[in-house]
Amino acid sequence: VFPFEYLPAEEVMLIKKREHFFSLDKHEEKHPVVFTIQIWDNDIFHPDDFLGVLDLDLHCMPKASKFAKFTTLDDLIDNEKGLPVQTISLFNQKNVKGWWPCYVDYDPSIPRELTGKIEMELEILTSEDAEAKPAGKAREEPNENPHLKEPDRPATSFSWFSSPLKSLRYIIWQNYKWYILGTLFILLIVIFIILLLYSIPGALSQSMVSG
């Protein structure tokens, strides 16, 4: 899914790109193998807001937690408490799965804030193994290695202004159902009484004329 050229002797990845549009030869750059994850919300009418980030050096990354409730900022290698952290190398282990913390760090003088936790499975393959185990980005085909199921989101995880009918059903109706039914019942009784009072004089007049 994310191919890159790796130099094992130097433990860096090699990026080749043209410096300019009209350049004939590609320029080579060497960078640390750092995997960066950013989390953004999905606004419809406003710019997406940045929620958190996580940088993982694949040569020396913190070991993942098995459960989200045990995942904290202390799991990071550069945690602010200076606590020792167990690290692993994805190049040696080949496959890792678990939970990692995400944070915002706008100002180095302000302590980091835990803004989320992300569950991932990371696997590193040679080009030959990658061809034998194809995988699409996100849930694109081929959705294999591993197969990603549709997210199990609650029924109320939607924007009220983009789904007004769902808002009426899951927010208003579920929370105020008995108030709405009670109000409708009282309105029916009031309407019945009004119609009854309105029809009584006519009925009395007709009975007197008939009598």
Question: What count of other Cβ atoms lies within 10 Å of the Cβ of residue 19?
Answer: 9
Which sign does the torsion angle of CA 117, 121, 126, 131 carry? negative
pLDDT computed for residue 174 by the predictor: 75
Q: Which residues does residue 61 pair with via DSSP β-bridges, in sequence order?
A: 88
Round to whole Å and give the CA distance between 54 and 64. 12
Q: pLDDT per residue over 133-187, tens digit each?
A: 888 777 788 878 777 787 776 655 555 555 566 666 666 777 788 888 899 999 9
Task: Using alpha carbons only, give the angle 188, 191, 195 rounded to the nearest 5 degrees.
Answer: 140
Q: pLDDT per residue over 49-70, tens digit each?
A: 888 999 999 999 999 999 999 9
Q: Is 53 helix (H, G, I), strand (E, B) or coil?
A: strand
Q: Is 172 helix (H, G, I), strand (E, B) or coil?
A: helix
Judge contact between 99 and 119, C-beta under 8 A: yes
What 8-state DSSP symbol labels residue 169? I
Q: At 4, is the pLDDT very low, low, confident or very high (cuts 50, 70, 90)?
A: confident
